[in-house]
Copies of this chain bind each other. A is one copy, B any other.
Amino acid sequence: MLTAADIMTKDVATIRSSATVAEAVRLMKARDWRTLIVDRRHPQDAYGIISHSDIVSKVIAYGKDPSKVRVYEIMTKPCIVVNPDLGVEYIARLFKDHHLSQAPVIQGKLLGIITLSDIIAKSQFVERPRTILLEQELQDAIRKSREVCAKTSPDSEECAAAWDVVDELQSEIAHQEAKRIEKTAFEEFCEEFPEAMRGGELDRWCSG
Protein backbone atom coordinates (compact mmCIF):
# COMPACT_ATOMS: atom_id res chain seq x y z
CA MET A 1 0.00 0.00 0.00
CA LEU A 2 1.27 3.50 -0.84
CA THR A 3 1.84 5.72 2.19
CA ALA A 4 1.80 9.43 2.99
CA ALA A 5 5.57 9.52 2.42
CA ASP A 6 5.05 8.13 -1.09
CA ILE A 7 2.52 10.68 -2.27
CA MET A 8 3.36 13.85 -0.30
CA THR A 9 4.86 16.98 -1.87
CA LYS A 10 8.18 17.67 -0.19
CA ASP A 11 8.47 21.24 -1.41
CA VAL A 12 6.60 23.05 1.36
CA ALA A 13 6.65 26.75 2.12
CA THR A 14 6.45 28.00 5.69
CA ILE A 15 5.51 31.42 6.93
CA ARG A 16 5.62 33.25 10.27
CA SER A 17 2.28 33.65 12.05
CA SER A 18 3.01 37.38 12.43
CA ALA A 19 3.32 37.91 8.66
CA THR A 20 0.49 39.72 6.88
CA VAL A 21 -1.92 37.94 4.58
CA ALA A 22 -0.61 40.12 1.74
CA GLU A 23 2.82 38.57 2.32
CA ALA A 24 1.27 35.10 2.36
CA VAL A 25 -0.47 35.76 -0.97
CA ARG A 26 2.78 36.98 -2.57
CA LEU A 27 4.53 33.85 -1.37
CA MET A 28 1.73 31.62 -2.69
CA LYS A 29 1.72 33.31 -6.09
CA ALA A 30 5.51 33.03 -6.38
CA ARG A 31 5.38 29.27 -6.68
CA ASP A 32 1.78 28.38 -7.27
CA TRP A 33 1.48 27.07 -3.70
CA ARG A 34 -2.10 26.67 -2.44
CA THR A 35 -1.13 26.06 1.16
CA LEU A 36 1.51 27.42 3.56
CA ILE A 37 2.58 25.84 6.81
CA VAL A 38 2.92 28.07 9.86
CA ASP A 39 6.00 26.87 11.64
CA ARG A 40 6.29 26.03 15.34
CA ARG A 41 7.98 28.44 17.75
CA HIS A 42 9.06 25.66 20.15
CA PRO A 43 8.55 21.88 20.51
CA GLN A 44 5.32 22.20 22.55
CA ASP A 45 3.91 24.45 19.87
CA ALA A 46 1.48 23.19 17.22
CA TYR A 47 1.78 23.44 13.45
CA GLY A 48 -0.61 25.80 11.73
CA ILE A 49 -1.82 25.91 8.15
CA ILE A 50 -3.18 28.59 5.84
CA SER A 51 -4.88 27.85 2.52
CA HIS A 52 -6.65 29.58 -0.36
CA SER A 53 -9.89 28.73 1.37
CA ASP A 54 -8.89 30.62 4.55
CA ILE A 55 -7.99 33.72 2.55
CA VAL A 56 -11.23 33.69 0.56
CA SER A 57 -13.44 32.95 3.58
CA LYS A 58 -11.85 35.19 6.17
CA VAL A 59 -10.35 38.10 4.19
CA ILE A 60 -11.97 38.52 0.76
CA ALA A 61 -15.48 37.61 1.95
CA TYR A 62 -15.31 40.52 4.40
CA GLY A 63 -13.59 42.89 1.97
CA LYS A 64 -10.68 43.23 4.40
CA ASP A 65 -7.32 44.74 3.44
CA PRO A 66 -4.89 41.76 3.35
CA SER A 67 -1.99 44.02 4.32
CA LYS A 68 -3.79 44.73 7.61
CA VAL A 69 -4.66 41.13 8.48
CA ARG A 70 -2.04 38.83 10.00
CA VAL A 71 -1.64 35.13 9.28
CA TYR A 72 -2.42 34.16 12.91
CA GLU A 73 -5.89 35.67 12.53
CA ILE A 74 -6.95 33.30 9.78
CA MET A 75 -4.75 30.19 10.09
CA THR A 76 -6.00 26.84 11.36
CA LYS A 77 -3.90 25.85 14.37
CA PRO A 78 -3.41 23.21 15.57
CA CYS A 79 -4.01 21.44 12.29
CA ILE A 80 -4.64 17.73 11.85
CA VAL A 81 -1.35 16.07 10.89
CA VAL A 82 -0.58 12.88 8.99
CA ASN A 83 2.02 10.26 9.90
CA PRO A 84 4.39 9.43 6.99
CA ASP A 85 3.60 5.70 7.32
CA LEU A 86 -0.18 6.08 7.01
CA GLY A 87 -1.72 4.29 4.01
CA VAL A 88 -3.39 6.31 1.25
CA GLU A 89 -6.90 4.98 1.86
CA TYR A 90 -6.70 6.00 5.53
CA ILE A 91 -5.53 9.45 4.51
CA ALA A 92 -8.55 9.67 2.21
CA ARG A 93 -10.83 8.59 5.07
CA LEU A 94 -9.25 11.18 7.39
CA PHE A 95 -9.74 13.91 4.77
CA LYS A 96 -13.36 12.83 4.33
CA ASP A 97 -14.15 12.64 8.05
CA HIS A 98 -12.73 16.09 8.82
CA HIS A 99 -13.45 17.87 5.51
CA LEU A 100 -9.74 18.46 4.86
CA SER A 101 -8.29 19.63 1.57
CA GLN A 102 -4.68 19.36 2.77
CA ALA A 103 -2.60 18.28 5.78
CA PRO A 104 1.08 18.43 6.71
CA VAL A 105 3.03 15.19 7.06
CA ILE A 106 4.94 15.29 10.34
CA GLN A 107 7.29 12.99 12.18
CA GLY A 108 9.23 14.96 14.73
CA LYS A 109 9.57 17.62 12.05
CA LEU A 110 7.71 18.78 8.94
CA LEU A 111 8.32 16.32 6.08
CA GLY A 112 5.86 17.41 3.43
CA ILE A 113 2.28 18.21 2.61
CA ILE A 114 -0.56 16.17 1.13
CA THR A 115 -3.46 17.66 -0.83
CA LEU A 116 -6.56 16.21 -2.43
CA SER A 117 -4.78 16.51 -5.78
CA ASP A 118 -1.80 14.47 -4.55
CA ILE A 119 -4.17 11.69 -3.55
CA ILE A 120 -5.86 11.73 -6.96
CA ALA A 121 -2.63 12.01 -8.94
CA LYS A 122 -0.37 9.58 -7.14
CA SER A 123 -2.44 7.00 -5.29
CA GLN A 124 -2.90 4.41 -8.11
CA PHE A 125 -6.49 3.95 -7.04
CA VAL A 126 -7.63 3.54 -10.63
CA GLU A 127 -5.08 0.83 -11.46
CA ARG A 128 -5.09 -0.92 -8.11
CA PRO A 129 -8.30 -0.35 -6.13
CA ARG A 130 -7.70 -1.08 -2.50
CA THR A 131 -10.59 -3.45 -1.85
CA ILE A 132 -9.59 -5.70 -4.74
CA LEU A 133 -6.10 -6.03 -3.22
CA LEU A 134 -7.55 -6.67 0.21
CA GLU A 135 -9.93 -9.25 -1.19
CA GLN A 136 -6.98 -11.17 -2.68
CA GLU A 137 -5.11 -10.92 0.62
CA LEU A 138 -8.21 -12.27 2.36
CA GLN A 139 -8.55 -15.25 0.00
CA ASP A 140 -4.86 -16.06 0.59
CA ALA A 141 -5.33 -15.87 4.36
CA ILE A 142 -8.41 -18.09 4.29
CA ARG A 143 -6.61 -20.70 2.16
CA LYS A 144 -3.63 -20.56 4.50
CA SER A 145 -5.85 -20.95 7.58
CA ARG A 146 -7.55 -23.98 6.11
CA GLU A 147 -4.17 -25.51 5.32
CA VAL A 148 -2.83 -24.84 8.82
CA CYS A 149 -5.95 -26.29 10.45
CA ALA A 150 -5.81 -29.33 8.19
CA LYS A 151 -2.14 -29.94 9.01
CA THR A 152 -2.59 -29.43 12.75
CA SER A 153 -6.20 -29.76 13.94
CA PRO A 154 -9.30 -27.52 13.92
CA ASP A 155 -8.81 -26.72 17.60
CA SER A 156 -5.04 -26.20 17.57
CA GLU A 157 -3.34 -22.96 18.66
CA GLU A 158 -1.94 -22.49 15.15
CA CYS A 159 -5.34 -22.91 13.54
CA ALA A 160 -6.88 -20.37 15.90
CA ALA A 161 -4.08 -17.87 15.29
CA ALA A 162 -4.48 -18.23 11.52
CA TRP A 163 -8.22 -17.52 11.76
CA ASP A 164 -7.51 -14.46 13.90
CA VAL A 165 -5.62 -13.01 10.96
CA VAL A 166 -8.57 -13.77 8.68
CA ASP A 167 -10.98 -12.15 11.11
CA GLU A 168 -8.98 -8.95 11.29
CA LEU A 169 -8.59 -8.77 7.52
CA GLN A 170 -12.28 -9.32 7.01
CA SER A 171 -13.03 -6.56 9.53
CA GLU A 172 -10.65 -4.23 7.73
CA ILE A 173 -12.42 -4.85 4.42
CA ALA A 174 -15.84 -4.44 5.98
CA HIS A 175 -14.80 -1.17 7.69
CA GLN A 176 -13.19 0.10 4.50
CA GLU A 177 -16.35 -0.53 2.51
CA ALA A 178 -18.66 0.50 5.35
CA LYS A 179 -20.43 -2.85 5.03
CA ARG A 180 -21.58 -5.52 7.46
CA ILE A 181 -20.27 -9.09 7.36
CA GLU A 182 -23.24 -11.46 7.35
CA LYS A 183 -21.20 -14.56 8.09
CA THR A 184 -17.44 -14.47 8.74
CA ALA A 185 -15.10 -16.91 7.02
CA PHE A 186 -14.42 -18.39 10.47
CA GLU A 187 -18.12 -18.94 11.06
CA GLU A 188 -18.31 -20.80 7.77
CA PHE A 189 -15.34 -22.87 8.85
CA CYS A 190 -17.09 -23.56 12.16
CA GLU A 191 -20.07 -25.00 10.37
CA GLU A 192 -17.79 -27.51 8.71
CA PHE A 193 -15.85 -28.27 11.90
CA PRO A 194 -18.25 -27.55 14.76
CA GLU A 195 -15.88 -29.09 17.27
CA ALA A 196 -13.35 -26.24 16.76
CA MET A 197 -13.68 -24.24 19.91
CA ARG A 198 -11.65 -21.73 21.80
CA GLY A 199 -12.00 -19.93 25.13
CA GLY A 200 -10.40 -16.86 26.62
CA GLU A 201 -11.85 -13.67 28.04
CA LEU A 202 -12.39 -11.68 24.86
CA ASP A 203 -12.05 -14.44 22.33
CA ARG A 204 -14.46 -15.67 19.75
CA TRP A 205 -15.37 -19.34 19.49
CA CYS A 206 -17.50 -21.68 17.38
CA SER A 207 -20.89 -21.74 19.00
CA GLY A 208 -21.54 -25.32 17.90
Residues of A at the B interface (CB closer than 8 Å) are 1, 3, 15-20, 22-23, 25-29, 34, 41, 43-46, 52-53, 55-67, 70-73, 75-78, 80-81, 83, 85-90, 92-99, 101, 106, 116-117, 119-121, 123, 125-126, 129-132, 134, 164, 167-172, 174-178, 180-181, 184, 201-202, 204
| Pairwise interchain contact A129-B95, C-beta atoms closer than 8 A | no
Give the CA-CA distance A145 to B132 in the complex, in Å. 34
Which of B3, B119, B180 interacts with A60 by CB under 8 Å?
B119
Given contacts A52-B116, A125-B66, A90 and B45 within 8 Å (CB-CB): yes
| Minimum CB–CB distance for A181 against chain B, Å | 7
| Minimum CB–CB distance for A27 against chain B, Å | 6
Given contacts A29-B121, A119-B56, A180-B73, A44 and B92 within 8 Å (CB-CB): no
| Pairwise interchain contact A65-B129, C-beta atoms closer than 8 A | yes
| Minimum CB–CB distance for A138 against chain B, Å | 12
Set of chain B residues within 8 Å of A95, measured between Cβ atoms: 53, 56-57, 61
Given contacts A132-B65, A176-B62, A180-B73, A18 and B171 within 8 Å (CB-CB): yes
